[in-house]
């Protein structure tokens, strides 16, 4: 194979792995999604036949036959499930129709989220490769590549997020996020950004509007106050809301938060991750008292998060500086 023609080196590594394991007759895939349902048990399928992968044209695999199946099928390889988009691209309309006709399915290294409009595809299947075996293969054959691109999440991260209404509001049918311990990121964070073991600093403030903080911080800094720092630890990956509901045996039509809107057959908050409480710091502190301390990095992150309503990463040093400033 001419490696210079591969657009994504990580996908090329998966191709190499699949070809190698197929030649050894030891390739197996784990079923993630079948018959329009998430498969909770670890069910593996041995691959009996695989046409060698020698290019990137859709679909990547022209013929693949799983154990106990009579006919070969097609398959498309993606680093993560959410990267699959051929059903939304008119350029591939004909090829995708053939793909469905041939019972095509997705093979991924990591199932992170369903692709956009995935619910419109009937009977599409998703399979994961054996990640442990894949990692061993990478270490043995592509150590430099593993270190630079395959290593999924080196070390835990710290994120700052704002306590939106759903973090604290509750009614008779819905707990606030601080009690239910589930949250939805406001932007397109993936499992390669936020993962189990990461820390989240959910902040709550008072004394200034977003416009005032963004445009007149010097005037507002003596009033804008940090009223609560809710420290949490992520204890699940981010998953699609439909997948979450299936795993938890709850109706997809059920609200997860008080301000949870459903429009055009789609929930506004469509992804979920779980967290656990580590510590809550409620001592009010004016931001002007932090801006010239070792916690300056946190103040800058808090401004971004409050004004733009997205998540912001802190370095571990900035996190330590903040905690030491608040608690010592």
Rounded CA-CA distance 144/138 in Å is: 9
Rounded CA-CA distance 100/87 in Å is: 10
pLDDT < 50 regions, the chain:
1-9, 143-154
Nearest Cα neighbor of 193 from 248, 145, 148, 237 is: 237
- Tell me what pLDDT residue 317 has: 87
- Tell me what pLDDT residue 15 has: 87
Q: How many CB atoms lie within 10 A of CB 155?
A: 7
Q: Please, what is the end-to-end C-alpha distance for the chain in angstroms?
A: 60
User: Encoding tokens for residue 170?
Assistant: 């509750």
- Tell me what pLDDT residue 137 has: 83
- Tell me what pLDDT residue 3 has: 39
- Tell me what pLDDT residue 95 has: 93
Rounded CA-CA distance 295/285 in Å is: 12
- Tell me what pLDDT residue 147 has: 43
- Tell me what pLDDT residue 2 has: 40
Rounded CA-CA distance 199/278 in Å is: 9
Residue 315 near residue 270 (C-beta atoms within 8 A): no
In the numeric block, the tokens 């809107």 are attached to 261
- Tell me what pLDDT residue 187 has: 67
- Tell me what pLDDT residue 188 has: 64
Rounded CA-CA distance 259/166 in Å is: 6
């Amino acid at each position: 194979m001419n490696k210079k023609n591969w657009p994504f080196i990580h996908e090329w590594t998966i191709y190499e792995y699949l070809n190698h394991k197929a030649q050894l007759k030891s390739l197996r895939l784990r079923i993630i999604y079948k018959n329009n349902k998430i498969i909770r048990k670890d069910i593996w399928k041995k691959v009996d036949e695989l046409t060698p992968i020698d290019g990137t044209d859709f679909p990547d695999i022209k013929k693949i036959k799983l154990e106990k199946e009579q006919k070969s099928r097609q398959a498309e390889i993606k680093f993560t499930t959410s990267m699959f988009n051929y059903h939304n691209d008119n350029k591939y309309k004909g090829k995708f129709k053939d793909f469905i006709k041939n019972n095509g399915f997705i093979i991924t290294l990591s199932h992170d989220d369903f692709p956009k409009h995935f619910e419109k595809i009937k009977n599409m299947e998703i399979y994961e490769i054996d990640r442990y075996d894949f990692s061993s293969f990478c270490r043995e054959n592509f150590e430099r590549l593993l270190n630079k691109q395959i290593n999924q999440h080196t070390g835990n991260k710290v994120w700052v997020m704002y306590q939106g209404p759903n973090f604290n509001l509750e009614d008779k049918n819905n707990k606030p996020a601080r009690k239910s311990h589930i949250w939805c990121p406001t932007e397109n964070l993936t499992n390669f950004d936020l993962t189990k073991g990461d820390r989240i600093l959910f902040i709550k403030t008072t004394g200034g509007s977003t416009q005032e903080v963004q445009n007149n911080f010097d005037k507002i800094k003596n009033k804008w106050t940090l009223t609560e720092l809710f420290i949490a630890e992520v204890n699940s990956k981010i998953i699609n809301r439909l997948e979450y509901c299936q795993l938890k045996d709850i109706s997809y039509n059920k609200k997860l938060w008080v301000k949870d809107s459903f429009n055009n057959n789609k929930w506004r908050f469509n992804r979920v991750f779980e967290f656990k409480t580590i510590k809550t710091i409620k001592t009010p502190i004016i931001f002007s008292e932090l801006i010239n301390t070792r916690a300056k990095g946190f103040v800058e992150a808090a401004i971004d998060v409050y004004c733009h309503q997205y998540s912001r990463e802190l370095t571990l040093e900035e996190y330590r500086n903040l905690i030491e400033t608040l608690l010592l």
